[in-house]
Each structure stands twice: as C-alpha cells, then as structure tokens.
Amino acid sequence: MLSGAVDPAELVALAERVARSAGALLLQRPTDLGVSTKSSPTDVVTVMDRASERLLVDGLLEARPDDGILGEEGGERSGASGVRWLLDPIDGTVNYLYGLREWTVSVAAEADGEVVAGVVHAPALGDTYAATLGGGARWNGDPTGVGSAPELAQTLLATGFGYDSAQRARQAAVIAAVLPRVRDIRRIGAASLDLCLLAAGRVDAYVEQGLQPWDLAAGGLIASEAGARVEGLRGAPAGEALVIATRPELFDALHSLLVGAGVDTLTTGGTS
C-alpha cells in the first residue's frame, strides 16, 4: 500500500541526483569496456552498464531503503513502500560502445504500478529531461512541450529495432512501408532519448515495438507530460507490443498508417 507521503517531486529530485552521478561515471569511458552479449550477438552489455546500475541502485536504496527495483542489468528487488524504480543504466549501449554521444541514463519511479516521476539524462549531449505525473515536463530545467503537429507527409519519425534478427526483419518491413509516407525517419539508438526528443519538439513522432519497461518508463512519462499521446495499438497502453507517441492531432493518422503498413505482423510474428 502506497503511503500518501510519496511526493513525485522528491522522487524526481532523487532520480536526477543518481542519474547525474551515473552519467559522470559513464563519461569516464575506459578503453576496455569489457563487452559481453545478452539476448543475441548484437545485444551487448559492458562493464560500465553494470557499474552504472550498481551506482543507481546504491544511491536509491541509501535514500529509500524500502523501495523496489527493476534494472535492465538484473537488479531486481521487491520493496515494501509501494515505490519501484525502473532503471536503464545505459540506454543506447551500442552508441556508448562506438563512442557516439546518443546514450542516456534513464530512471523512473512507479508508485503502486503507475509511473509518477522520470529522468532521462544524456550527459554527452548536455541534456537532462524530467517529469512528474501531472507536473509537466522539463528540458534542462525549463518547461518543454511537443512541437506543432505537421501533416503526416511532413512528419519526422523516430524509431528503433530490437536485437532479434527475425523480429528486425519484420520491423524493417513495416518501416519500409511507412518511409515513403513521411518526411523521413531517424534511428537514433536510444528509446528514452527518442521519446525526449519528441517532448522537446525535435522529432514529430516515435514508434517502436519490443521496448522493455526500463526503456519506456521515464521517456514515456516525459513525452506524455510534454503533451504527446503515448499509446499502443487500438487503445492498448504503450508497452512491449508497441509504442506510438506523437502529438494528439497526428495520432490517428499515424496509427492508420502503421496498421496499413502491417504493424500487426510484429506481434503475431507473421509475414504480411
């Protein structure tokens, strides 16, 4: 049972504090990243993902010892407070591996299963995004909102692909059918950052299938608090099956485009 004393403003401040510490650690990128693989040969983890997660978990539990944790790199712990933290210690690990700057530390707090606070910190870009449920979204401390809605044909659409080869082929087929109908696509390589770019009006929409809770939680809250509609297919909540995020005025047109492009094949595993 969640204590009425949980204050999203306190949670977001703590999230930002630990995310900044992890970001500072990650900027000290060692030459040997100690790379190993996870779900597929292209799904990598480095010693820095693990060190970042350890630092996040230690910082959060020091401040709030009764909270639960779910971290991408295995940190899982049930808590008694009703608050659970969803952690992606490096979102965009492949970018980090290659020395690209588009990676983040993503920290979100759920209270009784609902995301109430989120921070996406991109230290190599100098950008930090944060939101509390009902409290709006901020980009480097200032209020931020999604940009004005373009026509579908003028939409800059961010997207991403999973690590399983067969699923990637299906995802690529859907995007191939979408591409001629929009301005262009961007594959930036960090889902949390894609959602924050939408929140900052730097892309018009974002679509991806296969996200895990730690990829989606903080960025999803930031995008919706910035005015985006963030949902799955046919009114389902956004989640692993699909995330469609864009300005509300553009949502239905994008949803129809995706259905016409065969987005249902992503969840059924079909070919058409």
Which spans of this chain sit near ligand IPD (rule: CB under 6 A)?
72, 88, 91-93, 160-162, 189-191, 208, 210-211, 215
Q: Minimum Å distance from CB 28 to ligand IPD? A: 19
CB of 106 to ligand IPD, least distance (A): 8
Q: Rounded to the nearest whole angstrom, what is the least distance from the CB of residue 172 to ligand IPD in the complex?
A: 12
Residue nearest to ligand IPD (CB): 160
Our CB check for ligand IPD shows the closer of 207 and 254 to be 207
From the CB of 9, what's the least distance to ligand IPD, in Å?
27
Name all contacts of 261-264 with Cβ < 8 Å and 24+ positions apart.
Answer: 261/174, 261/175, 261/177, 261/178, 262/173, 262/174, 262/177, 263/174, 263/209, 263/233, 264/233
Beta strands 114-122 and 127-132, pairing class: antiparallel
Structure tokens at 122: 């991109």
For ligand IPD, give the closer residue by CB, 93 or 155: 93
Which residues, in sequence order, are bridge partners of residue 37? 44
Handedness of CA 258, 260, 262, 268 (dihedral sign): positive
Q: Which is nearer to ligand IPD, 127 or 208 (CB)?
A: 208
Residues β-bridged to residue 64: none
Name the residue nearer to ligand IPD (CB basis): 91 or 127: 91
- 14/238 Cα distance (integer angstroms): 25
Within 10 A of 100 (CB to CB), how many other CB atoms are there?
14
Least distance (Å) from ligand IPD to the CB of residue 93? 4
| Least distance CB 49 / ligand IPD (angstroms) | 8
DSSP 35-82: -EESSSTT-EE-HHHHHHHHHHHHHHHHH-TT-EEEETTS-EE--SSS
Give the residue with the Cβ less far from ligand IPD, 98 or 151.
98
Task: Pick the closer one to ligand IPD by CB: 12 or 87.
Answer: 87
Exposed, middle or buried, 20 (CB in 10 Å: 0-12/13-18/19+)?
middle
